[in-house]
Amino acid sequence: MSAVVHSAPRYASNEGVLDALSVALGDLAVSAREEHGEIVITVRREKVEDALRLLRDEHEYQQLMEIAGVDYPQRAERFDVVYMLLSLTRNHRIMVKVTAAENTPVPTVTTLWPVAGWLEREVFDLYGVIFAGNEDLRRILTDYGFEGHPFRKDFPLTGYVELRYSEEDKRVVYEPVRLAQDFRSFDFMSPWEGAEYVLPGDEKAEGGEG
């Protein structure tokens, strides 16, 4: 059986990559660092399309693998939008970031990778980040009647509405969340310290075994 020879290296090193890409991006980049073995480059939001095009066409990062969001509510520009790029020919990955506020659009990169349309919809759905130029910016994971953006840090764990099937209406209906407290009793005690009240079954330990 003949050996299969790949053009990409089996193991890709970060050596020299950070400096080379920082020089190539120039004033498109805001900062660049190596963290946890990853090359992370923050670029100017309004120039993200130019920066990613340069990385794709001149530095062989051909594939957009993912777009992710991160929420930092304490910041003025609370969101990070993270683009994860893969070079097939160099077997190397980098992350490119931009920051955005709630009302600050991020330029779409569907002009570079059509698949970005779905990925941008996911970030919009979960975080509320607006992507200028995306012609189909609809929710993709939550329901059409969903309120809010569930991956924001200030989104309540219960959500705002709940749904159920109504036999009367013969359809799914939305209602405000109602949390029944009748059977909820919290003492916040560590189970290892032992509760001061009697738990079901404790009486067996106290009574003598015949």
pLDDT at position 25 is 97
Residue 86, SS3 per DSSP:
strand
CATH number for the domain formed by residue range(s) 17-143: 3.30.460.80
pLDDT at position 136 is 95
| DSSP letters spanning 93-154 | EEEEEEEE-TT--EE--TTT-TTHHHHHHHHHHHH---EET-TT---SSS-TT--S-TTSTT
pLDDT at position 109 is 98
- The residues of the chain scoring below 70 in pLDDT are 1-9, 181-210
Q: What is the pLDDT of residues 45-54, one digit of tens each?
A: 999 999 999 9
% of the chain residues with pLDDT over 70: 81
Q: What is the pLDDT of residues 111-148, one digit of tens each?
A: 999 999 999 999 999 999 999 999 999 999 998 778 89
pLDDT at position 178 is 80
Domain ranges of the chain: 17-143
pLDDT at position 193 is 64
Q: What is the pTM of this model?
A: 0.79
Mean pLDDT of the chain: 88
